[in-house]
Structure 1
């Protein structure tokens, strides 16, 4: 589930949204109100239940072969997503929807590499929300390894110390760091 040209996506478990209004995100670092969405490269970051903590890593220019093998592992692929066992059933059963939004009002946000796109005015979806479907199959079909771990922190520390690109979302919902 990725946006088509001229579109961005907003993922939600709520299929009843008809207009997206700018708001200050509870988890945001700033105080500006935005409508949040993602472009095609960042869409896989949101193939999860909203509250699910996840750690993700992918090859970027400058990624070493050693880091790719150490973090992503053998078996091909250039991207890995990790979740905790406690979220696996929710990942399998969540009803997730994608809203297609016009890309025009949105601009990239995030430094040094944008992690999302934002609009500062209300945006109507281009149509009704689309069920995203089987999230495990979506990962498989995109060639993204999906790793299930007891705890995300050791993986996250290895990822952030590597030459891979990475993102961690809702990590505050992860199990505590092991002692």
Structure 2
């Protein structure tokens, strides 16, 4: 489930939205109100139930071979997503919908490279939402490893100190960080 050329997507578990109005999320780091969407490359970041914590890593041109091997492993492809066992049932049974928008209504957001697209005015989808389908199959078809872990924090700590690109979403919902000796 990816946007077509000239489109961006917004993923939601709610299939009844007819207009998206800019808002400031409770967890926002910025004060401006936006409608959020993603492009082709970042769409996989949202192939999860909304509240599901996930840690993601992918190769970038500066990724070192040792980091690639350490994080992605042998035969690991270019990208890995990790969730916790406690979210697996919701992941497997979740119903997710994609809303398509014209990219013309949005601008890139994020530094140094955009990680999202935002609109400052209300926007209407190009049509009804589309079921995203089987979330596990989306990952498989895209060649993205999906790891299921007891706890995301050791993986996250390894990822953020590596040379891979990375993103963590809803990490506040992850199991408590293990206590280090």
Verify same fold: TM over 0.5.
yes
Secondary structure of 2:105's counterpart equals coil
Shift of 1:2: 0.4
162-171 or 67-76, which deviates more: 67-76
Q: How far apart in 2 are the matches of 1:115 and 1:175?
A: 25
Unaligned runs of 5+ in 2: none
Note the aligned Cα RMSD (angstroms): 0.6
The separation in 2 between residues aligned to 1:26 and 1:109, in whole angstroms, is 18
**Do structure 1's residue 25 and structure 2's residue 33 form an aligned pair?**
no
Q: 1:77 maps to what in 2?
A: 77
Q: Deviations over 1:95-153 (max 9, x none)?
A: 10000011001111111121110000011100000000100010000000000000000
3-state SS in 1 of match to 2:104: coil
Partner of 1:175: 175
TM-score (norm. length: structure 2): 0.98
Matches within 5 A, 1:1-179: 1-179=1-179
TM-score, normalising length: structure 1: 0.99
Deviation, structure 1 residue 76 = 3.5
CA contact (8 A) 2:59 2:165 kept: yes
Extract structure 1 runs of 4+ deviating beyond 3 A. Answer: none
For residues 42 and 26 of structure 2, the distance between their equivalents in structure 1, rounded to whole angstroms, comes to 20
Q: Matches of 1:46 and 1:93 in 2, distance apart?
A: 15
Name the SS of the counterpart of 1:104 in structure 2: helix
Aligned to 1:3, the other structure's residue is in SS state coil
Distance 1:112 1:44 in 2: 20
The number of residue pairs the alignment matches comes to: 179
Residues 97 and 130 in structure 2, CA contact (< 8 A), matched pair in contact too: yes
How much does 1:11 deviate?
Answer: 0.1
Matched residue of 2:98: which SS? strand
